[in-house]
A and B are shown apart, each in its own frame.
Chain A
Amino acid sequence: AQTVTQSQPEMSVQEAETVTLSCTYDTSESDYYLFWYKQPPSRQMILVIRQEAYKQQNATENRFSVNFQKAAKSFSLKISDSQLGDAAMYFCAYRSEGNQFYFGTGTSLTVIP
């Protein structure tokens, strides 16, 4: 079975600075997708960014970018110019070939004014 590991339960960053959240996964599949989701205190999960495993180019969405290392099975999220509204739980997720999603345990991000 696929597993997703987020080794940083909590992270903090100064406003306007950059922070990187780590994620590793274990799989024997070759065709899969990876996602980062944000869950603010209001609890609705929001998609931040997605990465197709077959694409070598790292995905970017405005201030959010990923560092996808397929061989190392690593998928980190970089948040640039951090804003107070970025404070939330961040979940790394893996979508298998069978369209099943696996989530990590999350990283709680605090943004310090």
Chain B
Amino acid sequence: DAGVTQSPTHLIKTRGQQVTLRCSPKSGHDTVSWYQQALGQGPQFIFQYYEEEERQRGNFPDRFSGHQFPNYSSELNVNALLLGDSALYLCASSFWGNEQFFGPGTRLTVL
């Protein structure tokens, strides 16, 4: 079992650009959650996808959007990037309400 995988590992973008991050959940998991972790901080919940729909959303602007595919993989899209969007983006998968398993994260740097 490969566990939760994320791509890419690192990404550098400039302000105003758009970015797409990808996540493949652990085998058997149907729920994917996305988190933003700023340096030295705990993860902040962005949103959660289940059955291809956004089920929960944290306090993030509409610039942050996502998608879940029929195979349960997911994408996080961020438009009009700001310097403050620089962070580690974590994906976590679960079988609905059970404990979440995290991926290694994507380090996004916005210049």
Show the binding face of A for B, using Cβ within 8 Å: 4, 6, 33, 35, 37, 42-47, 50, 91, 95, 98-106
Tell me whether A47 and B99 are in contact (CB under 8 A). yes
Chain A residue numbers with a CB within 8 Å of B43 are: 45, 91, 101, 103
Query: How many angstroms from the CA of A24 to the CA of B97 in the assembled complex?
Result: 22
Tell me whether B41 and A105 are in contact (CB under 8 A). yes
Tell me whether A104 and B96 are in contact (CB under 8 A). no
Per the 8 Å Cβ criterion, residues 84-111 of B in contact with A are 88, 90, 92, 96-97, 99-105
Chain B residue numbers with a CB within 8 Å of A37 are: 102
Per the 8 Å Cβ criterion, residues 39-77 of B in contact with A are 40-45, 48, 55-56, 58
With A99-B55, A99-B56, A100-B56 given, is the CB distance from A47 to B45 under 8 Å?
Answer: no
Tell me whether A43 and B41 are in contact (CB under 8 A). no
Our pick among B33, B48, B55, B88 for the contact of A43 (Cβ within 8 Å) is B88
> How close is B38's CB to chain A, nearest CB, in angstroms?
10
- How many interface residues does B have (CB within 8 Å)? 25
Our pick among B44, B97, B105 for the contact of A44 (Cβ within 8 Å) is B105
Tell me whether A43 and B105 are in contact (CB under 8 A). yes
Query: How many angstroms from the CA of A44 to the CA of B37 in the assembled complex?
Result: 12
With A43-B105, A45-B90, A104-B42 given, is the CB distance from A99 to B48 under 8 Å?
Answer: yes
Q: A43-B88, A46-B102, A104-B42 are in contact. List 18 more A-B contacts (CB 8 A).
A: A33-B99, A37-B102, A43-B104, A45-B43, A47-B100, A98-B56, A99-B31, A99-B55, A99-B56, A99-B96, A100-B56, A101-B33, A101-B43, A101-B92, A102-B45, A105-B41, A106-B41, A106-B42
